[in-house]
Structure 1
Amino acid sequence: MSKKKRDIPVFNHPIIETHCHLDYLEGEDLADVLARATAHGVERVVTIGVSPGNLAKVRELTQNPLVWGTLGVHPHDAKEFTDETAAEILAHGNDDKIVAVGEIGLDYYYDHSDRAVQRKVFEQQLDLAIQLNQPIVVHTREADDDMQAILKNFSAQLPKKGVIHSFTSGLPLAEYCLSEGFMLGFNGIVTFNAADNVREVLAATPLEQVVVETDAPYLTPAPYRGRSNEPQYLPFIIEKIAEVKGITNEQVLASTYANANRLFSF
């Protein structure tokens, strides 16, 4: 008989889910997912654009009163980015519930798109964010040097900065991004046994620059690893951040909530 997993904590402070993929939660009813989230204190959910094919779906999802969205093309799909995609992001990037340009960036781990193409498309979308005066949601993996080099060319033109989501890169890139005013997003990875490198970066990150996310349906936190991730699991991430930083859950809740509001201008 399997041991019962610990119940998901419920706090007396709202939480903002800054990064998930609601349209990837296959087999789950959106209303049920959001009901479970609100039952565990989640006040707002940001669902993320990743490809030319899901931008319209993101906009559709934001019709739900609990959901906001971002528009952008992930580095995996950079090879699919076209002038029409850019025009769509530009046309809708300041819609009422679109809060950022993203998920954009570089991924040299999987290399699903040619690296030169990734860099070009990242820069094109940074230009779109500048035109829209929106923050950016950045994906970076195994690309620290190129990421920092590109951000150096654009950071000054991005007054709203943005967030480096699911931060797993090295401390030098973290320190650069923090010095420029970017926030770092932390998710269930901080609960993984092998993620000492992520906890090291978290420990070095000022609380005023930390936001929480699930990246659902991926990266489910302990003790629910193996299940599809959902925004309802955010309290476990709050607890782990408090533990790593040696502060109370309440301090993490208040700060990450304020940070998310500031990041996305809610």
Structure 2
Amino acid sequence: MSKTKRPIPVFDQPIIETHCHLDYLEGEAVSEVLERATAKGVERIVTISVSPDNLAKVRELTENPLIWGTQGIHPHDADAFTEATAAEILKHGNDDKIVAIGEIGLDYYYEHSDRAVQRKVFEQQLEIAIQLGQPIVVHTREADEDTQAILKNFSSQLKGNGVIHSFTSGLPLAEFCLNEGFMLGFNGIVTFNSAQNVRDVAAITPLDRMLVETDSPYLTPAPYRGRPNEPQYLPFIVEKLAEVKEQTVEVILEHTYQNAKQLFGWH
């Protein structure tokens, strides 16, 4: 007989979903995903663009009052980055409900795009973010040294304004990014038994530098691994961070909520 999974907890304080991909939730109506999320206390959702093909889709999704978005090209699609793509990001990167340039960065694990191209496109989009005065949402995997080197070249102009999302890198990159003023995003990986490295990073991350995210439809937290991820599962991530930080859930909720508002310019 299969065990019944623990219900998703509902807290008294609101939660901000800082990183998901609503247009990737196949077979799920966005309205239903939002309904389930709001029932669990999710107040706002940031859906992230990743390719030239979904820049416009993300902008369309932000027409919903609960949804904000970003504009940027993921390193997987760096090969598809053109002058027209750059122009589109520049044109819409300061739209009313676009809150950051991202998801940008480096991915040497999959290497769907040439590494040199990834670095060039990352730098081009950092320049756009600086030009627009927008924060950045950074993806980095198996590329700690190059990520640090590139961010170091731009951080004084970025003024630490950004987040390294789904943080799974080593402590040296974490410490560098924290010293430069960036925030770190934590998602369902922090609940995985195999992810002690992520919990170690969370343990040294100041409360005023943490964000919560799902990266849905990926990386569903325990105890719901194996199902498509959704913003409604954020409470499990909050609980695990409270455990790691030896804080109450209320403390984590308050800090991550205020951190998201600060990063994305919500007052």
Please tell me the TM-score bracket, short chain as reference.
over 0.9
Distance 1:94 1:125 in 2: 14
**Kept in 2: contact 1:211–1:260 (CA 8 A):** yes
Within 2, Cα distance between the matches of 1:172 and 1:115? 21
Helix, strand or coil for the counterpart of 1:99?
strand
Q: In structure 2, how many angstroms separate the alpha carbons of the residues matched to 1:258 and 1:124?
A: 30
The aligned counterpart of 1:218 is 218
Structure 2 distance, partners of 1:120, 1:256, is 32
Shift, 1:160, TM fit: 5.7
Across the two proteins, how many residue pairs are aligned to each other? 266
Distance (Å, rounded) in 2 between the aligned partners of 1:176 and 1:143: 14
CA distance in 2: counterparts of 1:207 and 1:237, whole angstroms: 14
Residue 119 of structure 1 deviates from its aligned partner by: 0.1
- After superposition, the CA RMSD in angstroms is 0.5
Superposition misfits of 4+ residues, deviation over 3 angstroms: none
**Structure 1: which amino acid aligns with 2:84?**
E
> Which amino acid is 1:4 matched to?
T
Report the alpha carbon displacement of residue 159 of structure 1 after superposing the two structures with TM. Answer: 2.9
Distance 1:160 1:9 in 2: 33
Q: Scaled by the length of structure 2, what TM-score is found? A: 0.99
Give distance in 1, aligned partners of 2:154 and 2:184.
18
> Counterpart of 2:9?
9
Distance 2:231 2:225 in 1: 14
**Residue 208 of structure 1 aligns to which amino acid in structure 2?**
D
TM-score where L is the length of structure 1: 0.99
Matching residue's letter, 1:185: G
Aligned twin of 1:195: 195
Shift of 1:57: 0.1
Q: Is the CA contact (8 Å cut-off) linking 1:94 and 1:132 kept in structure 2?
A: yes
* Letter of the structure 1 residue corresponding to residue 60 of structure 2: E
Structure 1: how far apart are the matches of 2:77 and 2:83? 14
User: Deviation per CA, 1:103-133, whole angstroms, max 9, x where unpaired?
Assistant: 0000000000000000000000000000110
1:182 is matched by which residue type in structure 2? F
Distance in 1, matches of 2:245 and 2:152, equals: 29
Structure 2 counterpart SS, 1:253: helix
1:44–1:68 CA contact under 8 A, matched in 2? yes
**What does residue range 127-166 of structure 1 map to in structure 2 within 5 Å?**
127-159=127-159, 161-166=161-166
SS in 1 for 2:139: strand
Q: Is there any run of 5+ residues in structure 1 with no aligned partner, and where?
A: none
Amino acid across the alignment from 2:36: R
Q: 1:100, 1:246 → 2: CA distance?
A: 31
Equivalent in the alignment of 1:207:
207
Amino acid at match of 2:263: L
How far the C-alpha of 1:225 sits from its partner, in A, is 0.1
In structure 2, the partner of 1:84 is: 84
Match for 1:103: what amino acid? E
Cα distance between partner residues in 2 of 1:22 and 1:83: 26
Measure, in 2, the Cα distance between the counterparts of 1:184 and 1:123.
20
Percent of residue pairs bearing the same amino acid type = 77
The 3-state SS of whatever aligns with 2:91 is helix
Q: Distance in 2 between matches of 1:160 and 1:92?
A: 22
* Corresponding residue of 2:101: 101
CA contact (8 A) 1:134 1:160 kept: no
1:174 aligns with 2:174: yes
